Structure 1
C-alpha cells in the first residue's frame, strides 16, 4: 500500500512538473493556479495562506501568472479596497486542457466503487491530507517534532 501511495505522489509530481513547463510557470505559480482553480477568486493574502506562501512570494507569483495570461487582479465590486486574483479565460482553458482529461478518467474509475467504498477512500484521503499538512508544518518550522 505504501509503495502505491508513493508511486501516485511521484506520478502527480511528474504531471505538475510537465504542466508547469507547458504553461511557462514554476511550481509555486502552479500551486497558486491550483488554489485559484479550487477556490475561485482570492485576495493576495487569502492566496498566500491557501498556498502556504509569504506575502512577498505570493505577489511575485501573481505577477508571473499575470504575465503568463493565466490570472488577473480585479477590484472587488462589493468593496473597492479589496483586490481579488481571478483566473483568466486563458487560465481556465489551460487548466481544463491539462487536468480535465485526468479528472474525467478519475471520475469514471470512481463510479466503479460502492458508496461505502467511496466513503472509505475519502476517509483515507482526508487522513493522508492531514498527515501531509502536519509534516509540511514540521518541515516549514525546521523541526523534527510534529
Structure 2
C-alpha cells in the first residue's frame, strides 16, 4: 500500500533528521533544547526571550536558562533594542552563523539541488504535503502538551 510506504519514508526522514540534530548538538557542545532555540533564532532572526519561548514551546524560566547556556557557548547574545531600550533581543553570534553554515550548509545545498529536479506542479504538491504534515505535527504536539502524562 502506497500510504504505508510514504508514512514509512516520512518516519525514516524524521529519524535521519533527528540523528543530524543529535550530531550537530554534540559538535556545538549544547543540548537538544538549546538546538531548538538556535533553530528558531536562525529561522526567524533576533527574538525577545518571550518570543523565543513561544517559538520553542518553552516556559519563560527555561528559556532564560537556555539563553544563558547559549551565551556561555558563544552562540547567542542579548542585545538591547536600539528603538526601545526596555526591550532585549536575543541574536545569534557570528560564531553561531559560521558553525551553522559549516554544519547545515552542505545539507541545504544538496536538498536544493535535489528539489531542482522537480517540476513546478510537483514542487507545489510537495509544499502542500509538507504544510499538511506540519499542521498535523503541531496539532499533536498541542495534544501531547495538554494531555495526561
Q: Which residue of 2 aligns with 1:98?
A: 103
Counterpart-to-counterpart distance in 1, 2:148 and 2:45: 33
**1:32-62 alpha-carbon deviations (Å, 9 max, x no partner):** 0000000000000000000111001111110
Partner Cα separation in structure 2 for residue 17 and residue 142 of structure 1: 27
1:112 and 2:126 aligned: no
4+ runs of 1 displaced by more than 4 Å? none
Note if 1:132 corresponds to 2:137: yes
Q: Give the secondary-structure state (helix, strand or coil) at the position aligned to 1:86.
A: strand
What corresponds to 2:24 in structure 1?
19
Number of positions where the alignment pairs a residue of Structure 1 with one of Structure 2: 144
Aligned mates of 1:56, 1:121 — CA distance in 2: 38
SS at match of 1:112: coil
Q: CA deviation at 1:143?
A: 5.2
Gaps of 5+ in 1: none
Q: Take 1:33 and 1:136, find their aligned partners in 2: how far apart are those partners?
A: 20
Equivalent-residue separation in structure 2 for 1:82 and 1:21 (angstroms)? 32
Q: Structure 1 length normalisation: TM-score?
A: 0.97
